[in-house]
Structure 1
């Protein structure tokens, strides 16, 4: 019998990582879970956030993990399966090709090792009325392959957004197995045990254009540098990420102010601050902050937007609000 596995998909900013954090907090104490995280950016923010919950984490940063003939994903899945987890959660990038992820997990390579359950798709109901999302093929595909639809962030939605969600779910053919409106990514853990619909995605998936960066190992901070920066682009989006050494500390209030002013579509970070180590999450102009128990951690921040932003200028601002700006 294969390891119970779920894909939790959704576009940028829908709350996938928060949902997985909630699930990890609710998992049975005697179970060991593994999480495969894929991010469009090069830094690997989600892995750091999830590691704080004690799960075994593998990351495939730098684009859609199903590309490069599926090698990065297959290697990561195999490594996690060797640890014999009680459950595997797969979080593809919000800009990834969800069909390809299912095709890999249901391929002959993993048939004897993975029992793929229902795919859970998160959506921000506000996006269902926004042409920027409804015309994006990844957005469409991610919801199409989801067996279960979770309308997240309902507490931030208007009545019209809720109506749009309910109308969308009603119109789906074939119908979804289950749907629910929630806030803060909190949905019942029992949904993970629902079987997936009978599909054969491995024979249905067409090739797609590899516009984003080539897959490569996650880069590390050289011992003689205080920080490094790396960029990625593809599918109409641009990303830039930084790693700062564990000796670098950011002024908490200044950092919160800077993140509040960034107009990018998506910002994530795990940062050492004057108040401790915090996870920052910026979506729709709202900054969410959660304290972590990480110590001696290298700060990481990633910015994603549909426009190319002045990365050099942002880097200067980050340095200015850190102890790197203080006289030695």
Structure 2
């Protein structure tokens, strides 16, 4: 009789991203000093230049925690193969419980998330919270408009850490917090800190209700097996408080599910979708992900950096509530598994 092997536990990988000078290395050093004694950690650092600096700093101060470098290119794009090789080697040699991955501040970390969905890596690594550090002193609407990388790092993050708040002007801090509060999907947390003093609990933080938005439970049968998908659109009531007409509904879908963009456009051009009061979502449409926004009878679909999951929230008028089971069936009819 053959006994089935128990799958090896996956390594939890946390991206520690942020623009140049935001304090990523300081934050990782703080995390290493406060990591649980019973856990095996490792660090993988990507430096854009040929000569690595941060890796040496981390290794020297890391108290014996293994540190590896990927130098000479951004692992978000041109260095993706180097990332696969370095990750594979580190996982096999160290077998860490947790891996902190610091990409260069010049890169788009969304490319790393795409790489982690490689079949072998997906079986070995579980993507934990993506932490983005930002120096509020450099925040402005002009910078958001001029730097796609800067905006993308804020959009992709699960948790945003406002670092160096002891030297940043209060008006810049509040402006950044206001911008982050308006992003969709909302963040698990936005916290202030100094000198990279990052609370290790943020690495595994799970969210439901958040200030300014009510949690919308996922409907039975609509969620992925990967438990939590916190839907928190401000103004969209949760189902514990929803009106009797049941006018609001939200779904989460696993990242492996791919939506056909033309199929989505066709859905919103016909009933019951074209009678909706409001629709908002982030959906994977292939290698790319899109933000969907429906208001006043107009559909807008624009690129977004989000990579965590696909999610969609709909609000119908009280006098035209659709059959939500039929709506879900129609949604799933324009998907395929990637």
> Is the shorter-chain TM-score for this pair beyond 0.5, marking a shared fold?
yes
SS across alignment from 2:166: helix
Q: Distance in 2 between matches of 1:203 and 1:90?
A: 26
Instruction: Report what 1:30 is aligned to.
Output: 38
Are 1:148 and 2:159 an aligned pair?
yes
Q: Which runs of 5+ in 1 are unaligned?
A: 207-328
- Superposition RMSD on alpha carbons, in Å? 2.2
Question: Structure 2 CA distance, aligned partners of 1:14 and 1:205?
Answer: 29
Aligned with 1:179 (options 186, 190, 205):
190
Q: Which residue number in structure 2 is paired with residue 80 of structure 1?
A: 90
| Matched pairs, number | 207
Question: Which moves more between the two structures, 184-193 or 19-28?
Answer: 184-193
Give the TM-score of the pair, scaled to structure 2. Answer: 0.57
Note the alpha carbon deviations across 1:13-39, whole angstroms, 9 max, x for none. 000010000000001223221111011
Among residues 87, 92, 103, which one is paired with 2:103 in the alignment? 92
Q: 1:150-187: per-residue Cα shift (whole Å, max 9, x none)? A: 01100111111121122112111111111101101112
Aligned to 2:172: 161
Q: Work out whether 1:10 is the aligned partner of 2:18.
A: yes
For residue 203 of structure 2, what is the aligned residue in structure 1? Answer: 192
Larger radius of gyration: 2
Contact 1:99–1:205 (8 Å) recurs in 2? no
SS in 2 for 1:12: coil
Distance 2:151 2:28 in 1: 22
Q: String of CA shifts for 1:208-263, please: whole Å, max 9, x gaps.
A: xxxxxxxxxxxxxxxxxxxxxxxxxxxxxxxxxxxxxxxxxxxxxxxxxxxxxxxx
Structure 2 gap ranges (5+): 1-8, 207-227, 230-251, 257-283, 289-338
Q: Does 1:43 align with 2:54?
A: no
TM-score scaled to structure 1, two decimals?
0.59
Structure showing greater relative contact order (alpha-carbon pairs closer than 8 Å, 6 or more residues apart): 1
| Residue 71 (structure 2) aligns with | 61
What CA distance in whole angstroms lies between the structure 2 residues aligned with 1:183 and 1:69? 31
Contact 1:63/1:96, CA 8 A, preserved across alignment: no
